[in-house]
Amino acid sequence: MAIAGVLSVGLLASACGGSSSDTSSTASGASSGDCSAYTQYGDLSGKTISVSAGIVTPEDTAYIDSYKPFEDCTGAKVTYDGNKDFETQILVRARAGNPPDIAIVPQPGLVKQLVATGAAKPAPKAVADNVDKFWSPEWKAYTTVDGKYYGAPSGASVKSLVWYSPSEFKDSGYAVPTTLDELKTLSDKMVSDGKKPWCAGISSGEATGWPITDWMEDMMLRSAGPAEYDKWVNHQIAFNSAEPTKALDMVGEYLKNPAYVNGGLGDVTSIATTTFQDGGLPILDGTCSLHRQASFYAANWPKGTTVAEDGDVFAFYLPGKTAGDKPVLGGGEFNVAFSDRPEVQAFQTYLSTDTWANNKVAATPNGGWISANKGLDASKLSSPIDKLSADLLQDPKTVFRFDGSDQMPAAVGSNSFWKQATAWITGQSTKDTVDNIEASWPTS
Amino acid sequence: MTTLEKLTSMAGALLLFGAVMGLILYIAGRFGERRAGKPVAFLFLLPTALLVAVGLVYPALRTIYQSFFDAGGTSFVGLDNFATIFTSSDELTVLRNTVLWVVVTPFIATAVGLLYAILVDGARMEAFAKALIFLPMAISFVGASIIWKFIYAYRPDQANVKQIGVLNQIVVWLGGTPVNWLVGSPLNTLLLIVILIWIQAGFAMTILSAAIKAIPGDIVEAARLDGVTTLGMFRFVTLPSIRPAVVVVLTTIGIATLKVFDIVRTVTGGSFNTSVVAYEFYSQTFSSSNQGLGSALAVLLFVLVIPIVAYNIRQMRATEAR
Amino acid sequence: MTTFTPPPVLEKKNDPPVPPPPLSGSEVAESAAKRLSRPWATAAALIIAVLWTIPTFGLLVSSFRPEKLTKTTGWWTFFSNPTVTLDNYRAVLTTEGSSGLGKYVINSFIIVIPSVVIPLVLATLAAYAFAWVKFPGRNVLFIAVFALQIVPIQVTLLPLLKLYVKGDLVGFPAIWISHSIFALPLAIFLLHNFMREIPAELIEAARVDGAGHVKILTAVLLPLLKPAIAAFGIFQFLWVWNDLLVALVFAGGGSDVAPITKGLADLSGTRDSAWHLLSAGALVAIIVPVVVFLSLQRYFVRGLLAGGLKG
C-alpha cells in the first residue's frame, strides 16, 4: 500500500511537472529523442498555454499527446479543455474577456465572428510563413480577415466521399463510378436489382440539416465549377439564382427520389428524422448500398467493422462531371490565438509546422486524423480511409474547396441553410427553399 | 486543483457565507420591538436584492435595450425585431407552439401529479411508488429527451428492419404501419410536451402530496361524518385545502414551460415546426449571432409571463383578504 | 448553517417518530385509500406508475445491451434474446482516462452543496421578510422578485461572466454565485407561499411573548418549514446536479471544475458516435439524485406543514 502510494505520487508529479528541467530532459529523451526542432522556441519553463476545443474524448488524447514533445523540449505546459458546447461557449468567453490562449475553431465563419469580438489576435509572421510553405494558397484565405491572418489550419476532413460495401460491389458486379453520370447509372442499376441504393440521415440536434448543405455544396462544385462556387459562398451571386437552384435540384434527384431512398430507414421524410450518425449504418445490414458522408464517418461504424478497400465498408471519391475533374469538398479546424504572449506565439508556430502534423499522426495510431499540411508523411497514416483522404488532398489535380456553409454568415450557415434544407427534405419546393435562404442573408 | 484544495475552498466559501449571515441575524436581532419592520426587512432582503439586481435585473434591462438594435447590436432599429416576430410565418408558428406548450403542460402535469398523489396516499410502499414518478426529475432534460427520442424512433416497414422505438413497435403489434412521429405538425409538438409532462409530474406530485398530508384531520373527520362521497371529499375538502399549493405548482411549471428549450433542441432541433420562443431565442442569439432578434424573443418571454404574474397577484389579494 | 438549527426542544417536538399524529393529513389519505381501494383506483395508480417507469426501464435494459443490438433492435427484444454485457458500464467508468469519472462526481458535489445552501438561506430570510415583516412597497417588491423567474439564464451569461472576469472569480465561486442567483426568485416564491400558510396567531403569540423577528424566524417558523426547505432543497439539488450550461460557461474552461454532466456529454464522443454509452452514463448520473431524494423524502412525506400546527 505505502509503496504503491509513493509510486503513484511520483507518477503524478512527473506527469504534471513538465516544467521541471529534470523530468523534461528524461521525458524528451524517451519520446522524441531530439529537441533540435524545438530550440527556435527557446526556454519556456514555467509558462502555461491553455487550449480549448470542441473535440472531446477519446479524440482529445491524441491532441494532448501531440503537444508533449513541445512541452518536453521547451518546458512549457499546455492545458487542454474540450467540450461539446465549444462553439457557443467560445463566443461568450471571447466577448466577456475570458478566452483561452488558443482555440481550435472548426469553421472559418466562426473565426470571423471571433475576430469581430476583438479578442482574437493576428498570428505571428512565423505562422503565416509556415502556412505559405505547407498549405495550398486557398487554405490561407479562410482565416484572413481584413488583410490580417488569424491562424493556421489544424486537422482536415474530406467530404466528397461515398461509403459503400466492397463485398456487395464485388458480388453484384458493380464498379466504382468515375463520373457523375456513372453514379446515376449505378444507382438506377441498383434500383433495377430491387434495391434502395441510397441511405441518408440529417438529424443532428440544433444542427439538423447540415448533411444536405454538404450535398448541395458538392453538387454546386461539380455542376457550376469552383469559381461559381466561391461567388455563391461569398454571396456575389444570389442564393436563389440559377446555379445554386440547379445544384439543389441535383441533390433532389438523389435524396428526394423515392426509388433511391431511404434504404433500411424509410421513405424520403425519414431522412429528416434519422441521425446523421445512423444514416449509413444500413450498409452493414445490406439494406442500403450508398451513403455520401465525410471521411470522419469512419468513426461511426460499430466496433469490429473493418474499414478498408477489401473490408466491410469503404468509401470512394464522389466523382466529378468528367473523370478528369477532381473537385474535393472538405472541412477543417483552425488554431486561433487570443493572446500574443511569446509562449503562445511559439506554440501557435509549432502547431503550424510539419513536425506537429506528423506528431499528431503518430499520436493517433488508430487513424481518424489527417491534415492538408503538405509536410504530412502520408506513408505514416495507419488507416486506409485516412490514406485515401490524404491522397485526395495532396493530389495535384485536386481542386479543393472548403465547406461553404461554414464560411457563410452564421444567420445562414448555421441557421437558415440548415432549417430550410430540413424543410426541403420534408416536402418544401426547391424554389421556396432557395428563396427563403436568400431572404435570410444578412444585409450588412 | 486537488480534491483537498477544492474542499477547502468550498468550506471557506460556506464559512464566509455563514459569517455574513450570522452578522445579519445578529444585527437584526438587536431590533427586538414590534415596530422594527423596516430595518429588519432591509437587512433580510439586502443580499438577495444585490444578487438579483446584478444577476437578473441588469441583464434583463440590457436585453430589453438590445431588442431595439440590429443583429450586431450597433444600430438602432426601433421595433423592427418585434415586427419580424409577428410577421414571419415561421415565428408565428413558434408563438403558436409556445401557447400550446404553456396551456397544456402545467395542467396535465399537475393533474397527473395530483391524481397519483391521492391514489398512492397511505398505500403500502407509498415511498417506493412516489419514487417511481419522481425518477424522471432526477434525469436531466437532455437525458430525458434522448430517452424519448428513442421511444418515438421510426424504422420503415421493410424486410430485415426492426423497430427500435417502443411506440412504433406497439403500432406494428397492433397491425398498423409505423409512423414517423416527429415530422407531423402539430402532433410532434404534443409529443414533445409529453416529455416535459413526464418530467414535471414528479414535481407536482411531491408538492401536492405534501399539501394533502397537511390537511387538518378534523375537517376530514367532519366531512366523513356527513357522509361525503369520495368525489365529494375531493371536491369539497381536498381541493379547497390544497388550492394554494395547486396554484404554486401550476405557476412554477408554467414558468418552467415557457423557459424550456433543451427538449426542443435535443429532439428536433426546432425542425418540423416544433420550435418555441425559448429555443428560438437561444438559436438566434447563439447560433445565428442575431443579438437583436434574440433579445426581442427574450422580451417576448417576459411579456408572456405577465398573465401568470397577474393571476398570482389576484390569488395573493384573495389570500390577504381572508 | 448552525444559525438555522432550531432549538433541540422544538426539534423533538416537531419530529415525532412514525406513525404521524392521529387525525393528521394522512388520515385523509387512509380513509381515501380505503374508499378508493376499489380495483379501478389501484389500476389507475398502476397504469400511471407503469407509464412513467417504462422509459427509464428501457434505459436500464439498454444499458446492458451490446452496441450492435442497441443500434439495430428495440430494448424489448432483450427478453426474447437476452444478451447481457457490462461493456457500456466499463466504458463509461474508464473512458475518462487520466481524469476519471470520480473527479467529475467530486466536482459536482463541490458545486452543488454551496449552490443549494446559499440560495436556501437567502431565500428563507427574504421570504420571511415578504411574508411576515411589514414594510412599504412589500407587495410590489415581492411581485418583482417573483416575475424575475422568467429571465432566461442565457441572457445573463455574458454580463455575469464579464463581472466575474473583472473580480477574478471565475471557477467554483462564479458557479456558486450564479446558481444562487438563478434559484432565488423561485425559492423565495415557494418558501413565501408556505410561510403564508402558517397561521398568523402563532406568530402573534410569539410576538406577545416578546420575540423579535429573528427569534420568530429561527424558533417558530423554521421548524415548521423544515419539510418545505427539504422539498426545495432537493429540487435545487436536482437542477444544479443536472446543469451543464452554467458550469461550462463560468468554469473558465478548466476541466478541473467541470461537473459530471460534462463527463456525460463528452461520453458519446465528438460526433456522438458512441451514443449507446449514454444509457449507462445516464444511470450512473442519476444514482446520487435518487439517493438524495429517498433520504430526504421522509422530511416532507409527513406534510409541508405537519407537526405542531394540527393539534
Nearest to A275 by CA among A341, A335, A211, A204: A204
Query: Cα angle at B274 between B271 and B280, to 5 degrees?
Result: 80
Same domain, A147 and A54: yes
Structural domain includes residue A38: yes
pLDDT of residue A28: 36
Q: Which of A60, A64, A77, A83 to mutate to test the interface with C (most CBs of C within 10 A)?
A: A83
CB < 8 Å to C262, chain A = 83
Q: Which ranges of chain C have pLDDT less than 50? A: 1-25, 33, 96-99, 303-311
Same domain, A273 and A375: no
How far is the C-alpha of B71 from the C-alpha of B83, rounded, in Å? 14
How far is the C-alpha of B310 from the C-alpha of B302, rounded, in Å? 13
Q: Which residues contact A255 (CB under 8 A, 6 or more apart)?
A: A198, A200, A212, A215, A261, A268, A271, A425
pLDDT of residue C73: 83
Residue A402, sorted as left (phi over 0), alpha (psi -120 to 50) or beta, turns out to be beta
CB < 8 Å to A426, chain B = 183, 272
Same domain, A187 and A216: yes
CB contact under 8 A, C74 and B162: yes
pLDDT of residue C37: 53
Touching A (3+ Cβ pairs <8 A), the chains are B, C
Q: Which of residues 211-250 of C touch B (CB under 8 A)?
A: 212-215, 218, 227, 231, 235, 238, 242, 244
Q: Would you tell me how many other CB atoms lie within 10 Å of the CB of residue B80? A: 16
How far is the C-alpha of C266 from the C-alpha of C284, rounded, in Å? 14
Structural domain includes residue A2: no
How far is the C-alpha of A243 from the C-alpha of B143, rounded, in Å? 43
CB contact under 8 A, A92 and C265: no
Q: Kindly report the pTM of this predicted structure.
A: 0.87
Tell me how many domains chain A contains. Answer: 2
pLDDT of residue A300: 86
Same domain, A291 and A273: yes
Radius of gyration of chain C (CA): 24
Same domain, A168 and A125: no
For residues A301 and A76, the answer to whether their CB atoms sit within 8 Å is no
Q: Does A81 touch chain B (CB under 8 A)?
A: no
CB < 8 Å to A277, chain C = 271-273, 275
**Residue C256: phi, psi to the nearest 5?**
-60, -30
Structural domain includes residue A7: no
Q: Which of B115, B139, B285 to mutate to test the interface with C (most CBs of C within 10 A)?
A: B139
Nearest to A83 by CA among C253, C52, C103, B103: C253
How far is the C-alpha of A318 from the C-alpha of C33, rounded, in Å? 69
CA distance A335 to chain C (A): 17
How far is the C-alpha of A251 from the C-alpha of A239, rounded, in Å? 15
How far is the C-alpha of B179 from the C-alpha of A424, rounded, in Å? 19
Same domain, A196 and A311: yes
Same domain, A78 and A93: yes
Residue C216, C-alpha cell as written in the block = 420568530
CB contact under 8 A, A208 and B156: no
Report the relative pairing of strands A327-337 and A399-402 from DSSP bridges.
parallel
Residues of C contacting chain A (CB within 8 angstroms): 67-68, 71-72, 95-98, 157-158, 161-162, 164-165, 170, 244-245, 248-249, 252-255, 258, 262, 265-267, 269-273, 275
* DSSP, residue by residue, C108-149: HHHHHHHHHHHHHHHHHHHHHHHHH---TTHHHHHHHHHHGG
Same domain, A198 and A288: yes
Nearest to A295 by CA among A368, A371, A216: A368
CA distance C267 to chain A (A): 7
Q: Computed from CA positions of residues A125, A127, A129, A135, in that sequence, does the dihedral angle turn out positive or negative?
A: negative
CB contact under 8 A, C165 and A96: yes
For the segment A176-200, the average pLDDT, to the nearest whole number, is 96
pLDDT of residue C9: 35
Supply the DSSP symbol for A199.
-
| Residue A144 β-bridge partners | A149
Q: Does C293 touch chain B (CB under 8 A)?
A: yes
How far is the C-alpha of C259 from the C-alpha of C243, rounded, in Å? 8
For residues A214 and A160, the answer to whether their CB atoms sit within 8 Å is no
CB contact under 8 A, B305 and C147: yes
Structural domain includes residue A386: yes
| Residue A317 β-bridge partners | A161
Q: Which of residues 381-440 of A touch C (CB under 8 A)?
A: none
Q: Omega of the bond prior to C39 within 30 degrees of 0, cis?
A: no
- What percent of chain A stands above pLDDT 90? 74
Same domain, A219 and A130: no
Q: Would you tell me how many other CB atoms lie within 10 Å of the CB of residue A352? A: 26
Touching B (3+ Cβ pairs <8 A), the chains are A, C
Same domain, A378 and A389: yes
Residue A174, C-alpha cell as written in the block = 458493380
For residues A81 and A67, the answer to whether their CB atoms sit within 8 Å is no
For residues A345 and A366, the answer to whether their CB atoms sit within 8 Å is no
Structural domain includes residue A94: yes
Query: CA A430: distance to chain centroid?
Result: 27
Kind plus residue range of the DSSP H or E element containing A24: helix A21-31
| Residue A315 β-bridge partners | A163
Task: Pick A39 or B210 by higher pLDDT.
Answer: A39
Please report which confidence band the pLDDT of residue A6 belongs to, taking 50, 70 and 90 as the band edges: very low
Position A427: which residue type?
G
Q: Does B176 touch chain C (CB under 8 A)?
A: no
CA distance A27 to chain C (A): 18
How far is the C-alpha of C301 from the C-alpha of C299, rounded, in Å? 6
Task: Give residue-wise pLDDT tens across range C156-193.
Answer: 988 999 999 999 888 899 999 999 999 999 999 989 98
How far is the C-alpha of C144 from the C-alpha of B222, rounded, in Å? 41
pLDDT of residue A297: 93
Please count the residues of chain C. Answer: 311
On the CB side of A323, CA atoms within 13 Å amount to: 4
Structural domain includes residue A3: no
Position A6: which residue type?
V
Supply the DSSP symbol for B238.
I
**What is the domain extent for residue A292?**
161-327+405-440
Q: Does B217 touch chain C (CB under 8 A)?
A: yes
How far is the C-alpha of B184 from the C-alpha of A270, rounded, in Å? 12
CB < 8 Å to B207, chain C = 231, 304
Q: Omega of the bond prior to A262 within 30 degrees of 0, cis?
A: yes
pLDDT of residue C302: 54
Q: Which of C28, C124, C141, C278 to mutate to test the interface with B (most CBs of B within 10 A)?
A: C28
pLDDT of residue C253: 63
Q: Does A83 touch chain C (CB under 8 A)?
A: yes
Same domain, A148 and A177: no
pLDDT of residue B2: 82
Query: CA A272: distance to chain centroid?
Result: 22
CB contact under 8 A, B268 and A208: yes
How far is the C-alpha of C191 from the C-alpha of C231, rounded, in Å? 10
Residue A141, C-alpha cell as written in the block = 484565405
Q: What is the CATH number of the domain that holds A208?
A: 3.40.190.10
Q: CA-nearest residue of chain A to C67? A: A302
Q: Computed from CA positions of residues B233, B235, B241, B246, in that sequence, does the dihedral angle turn out positive or negative?
A: positive
Nearest to C56 by CA among B296, B198, A49: B198
Q: Which ranges of chain B have pLDDT less than 50? A: none
Q: Which of residues 298-317 of A touch C (CB under 8 A)?
A: 299-300, 302-304
Structural domain includes residue A4: no
CB contact under 8 A, A91 and B72: no
Structural domain includes residue A6: no
Q: Which of B76, B90, B276, B289 to mutate to test the interface with A (most CBs of A within 10 A)?
A: B289
Same domain, A251 and A309: yes
Nearest to B251 by CA among B190, B200, B193, B211: B200
Radius of gyration of chain A (CA): 23
CB contact under 8 A, A265 and B156: yes
